[in-house]
Structure 1
């Protein structure tokens, strides 16, 4: 099957279930597996300028949203020329990826009858269900079911390790200028890792708050949306200045927090290891760091 993945999480899932060789199109953000953009044509790019600070990005996003302008640009002719049979996209967040409506409009202009699968999970169980669905729709049901079973076993192991332990209050900041409280599946990640999430709404959208209005916490996790660990570490400076008495962790959000793929389980394990180091093994370097 010829698959176009217009969502980084879907690209990761496709590769994890053995469909990487079926991919005929990806986005500029697809970076896992490594080198995928060198092998597969890129048909989606960002409309945002490069080199902006977090505050500048927030201002540009708010301005474009207010004017009804898209955050992403799809090369519709290139996508059509690749003749995809299955297109993986999303409607969860217009800031994070190209929405399904834009894909449907592009296909209508091209006269394409490709099947469009919108991947819109709001919880860890729904992420696992999305992995299974992509595998089944793409023709790899056995690999997908085996992957999901393995991920569930790892989640069960973490749950057993943190069961009955004191749960620190954990504040996850998905952005720092201005601060955003993480929503969707992120509070669940904290809970599964043995913490008690404060702020944010399970299965809800991320929300902006002022620094004085942040809830009290025992630990702050700086996990800026779309950023790796080095950038997360750089963004902890403001948090340490404004919340000097609270321990701070930095986390690779792009790979292990906001991308709804198999590595969310890696993220839960990493956070559990940071919150309960005497009960859960330390994660490999590059996932989470204590500041």
Structure 2
């Protein structure tokens, strides 16, 4: 069946659809589909019940946990926009029920639609699986040639970072949420290893989990990279100032004393299993091996050292 009408429940899929040049077939997106700019103009079929812009990290965590514990949805389905979209294909995910529309929304969408669409769920947990998702979606959309072009470019960039000779191999702790602390899981540990660091606490493919200050202190990182899920660099720097700047236990850490704390644009380059995670890999390389990758060009304001 030829795919003529697509609804994306996943921002990383939306980015990939634009990369494939099939955005003219995209008739529904989520509130988080903000890249490229044109995606913001597409009808929204999914929105969040949580306004994270007006809440602190702790408040966001509390509201999210309360909704999940009560069995309530944290995303809302716009039934009218979905029916108007009348999709042949819905792209969703099973990686994280907090980060993007999940199984409940997909089931509700299928129940609402009079014409049942094809479903494709992207569920990558490492860079290899992100690459594979490009190939798979290319096959579904009859864009195999374009998918091979994209994959070849991404793999060359990965290999350049991964195969570069590293000198000192620092211990790196990536933190996915600041209050409370959460580990950075899924593809992040592998990215840190490829970029020339020793990843601490979490393992490649693991789901993110809560951790406490004692665990952070015990890990004794040389470098700490803050990447709160869904936050950009400026928001992360702001959160740091209000939550950790005056924390005595935090300030006793070696990485803090050595001025090796970094904020990154997690929303664009780390939180989602998109092809822009390769930009994220390059950002990590510049942070972890600054001398080796000094001339590597990364997006403006994609990371900042916190002093």
Are the counterparts in 2 of residues 222 and 235 from structure 1 also a CA contact under 8 Å?
A: no
Report the equivalent of 2:191. Answer: 189
Contact 2:166–2:196 at 8 Å: present in 1 too? no
2:226 maps to: 222
CA deviations over 1:134-166 (Å, ceiling 9, x no partner): 1221222111111011000011111122x3422
Tell me the residue number matched to 1:114: 117
Q: How many residues align?
A: 289
Residue in structure 2 matching 1:210, options 182, 193, 212: 212
Partner Cα distance (1:167, 1:159) in 2: 13
More moved, 235-244 vs 80-89: 235-244
Give the Cα–Cα distance (whole angstroms) in 1 for the partners of residues 239 and 104 of structure 2: 33
Secondary structure at the aligned position of 2:155 is classed as: helix
Alpha-carbon deviation of 1:212?
2.0
2:81 counterpart of 1:78: yes
**Structure 1 length-normalised TM:** 0.95
2: CA distance between counterparts of 1:146 and 1:241?
A: 48
CA distance in 2 between partners of 1:254 and 1:49 (Å): 16
Tell me, in whole angstroms, the C-alpha distance in 1 between the residues paired with 2:80 and 2:115.
11
Indicate the residue corresponding to 1:137 in structure 2.
140
SS in 2 for 1:112: coil
Alignment of 1:238-257 (within 5 A): 238-242=243-247, 243-244=250-251, 245-246=254-255, 247-257=260-270
| Whole-angstrom distance in 2 between the partners of 1:240 and 1:52 | 19
Residues 47-94 of structure 1 deviation map (CA, whole Å, 9 limit, x = unaligned): 113501100000001100110001101113321221111111111111
Could you list the runs of 5+ residues in structure 2 that have no partner in the other structure? none
User: For 1:100 and 1:132, how far apart are their aligned partners in 2?
Assistant: 23
Match of 1:166 in 2: 168
CA distance in 1 between partners of 2:38 and 2:112 (Å):
31
Give the TM-score normalised by the residue count of structure 2. 0.90
Q: CA deviation at 1:276?
A: 1.2
Among 194, 198, 201, the residue aligned to 1:199 = 201
Describe the superposition over 1:206-228 as per-residue Cα deviations: whole angstroms up to 9, x where unpaired: 11111122121000001100011
Q: Which runs of 4+ in 1 moved over 4 A?
A: none
Aligned mates of 2:23, 2:109 — CA distance in 1: 24
CA distance in 1, matches of 2:107, 2:51: 26
Equivalent in 10, 16, 19 of residue 19 of structure 2: 16
CA distance in structure 2 between the aligned counterparts of 1:76 and 1:271, rounded to whole angstroms: 40
Q: Note if 1:3 corresponds to 2:16.
A: no
Q: Check whether the contact 2:166–2:292 (CA below 8 A) recurs between aligned residues.
A: no
> SS of the residue aligned with 1:121?
coil
Query: Which SS does the other structure have where 2:285 is aligned?
Result: helix
Query: What's the offset of the Cα at 1:252?
Result: 0.3
- Closer, same or farther: CA 241–188 of 1 in aligned 2, 3 Å: farther
1:240, distance to aligned residue in structure 2 (A): 4.3
Q: Does residue 271 in structure 1 map to residue 273 in structure 2?
A: no
Moved more, 96-105 or 176-185: 96-105
* Partner of residue 147 from structure 1, selected from 147, 150, 167: 150
